Structure 1
């Protein structure tokens, strides 16, 4: 959860090609939103997707490392001892 200070809005400048602004305005209008709301949601969604992808990449790396450990152990250490160590 975010603190109140983190939820405080801050103005930022943004320059976009005219065609993107036109598409933004059209989409915003069709959903009864303003540009700010639409850009906010697009950025929030993008960041969430990146966070999710990073999680799954790290998870896959961890699974790969565990498979390697299962095959040979860490310096001869059995998996059960490694788990106990963790």
Structure 2
């Protein structure tokens, strides 16, 4: 949950290609929502997707590290340290 001050809305202007705006308009008519609501939800979804990709990317890196450690090529940090490091990164994002 965000503090009330962060929930204050700001007006933003930007340009969008006509074909894309037409697609947005078709969706908002179908679901009876307004553009602002649609764009807010689309932005949230996009940001969540980026965050997930970063987490899965780090997970892939971690799996590669584990494989290298199992092969005796590197020595891993303690699991507790790695978990705390990930928690801190998730808080910051």
Query: What TM-score, normalized to structure 2?
Result: 0.73
Classify the secondary structure of the residue corresponding to 1:11: coil
C-alpha spacing 1:50/1:85, structure 2 compared with 1 (3 Å): closer
Gapped regions of structure 2 (runs ≥ 5): 82-93
Q: Greater RCO between the two (CA within 8 Å, min separation 6)?
A: 2
TM-align CA RMSD: 2.2
Following the alignment from structure 1 to structure 2, what is the Cα–Cα distance between the partners of residues 15 and 63? 42
C-alpha spacing 1:21/1:72, structure 2 compared with 1 (3 Å): same
Query: What TM-score, normalized to structure 1?
Result: 0.78
Following the alignment from structure 1 to structure 2, what is the Cα–Cα distance between the partners of residues 45 and 85? 31
* Higher Rg: 1
Classify the secondary structure of the residue corresponding to 1:72: coil
Report runs of 4+ in structure 1 exceeding 4 Å deviation. none
Q: What is the total number of aligned residue pairs between the two structures?
A: 81
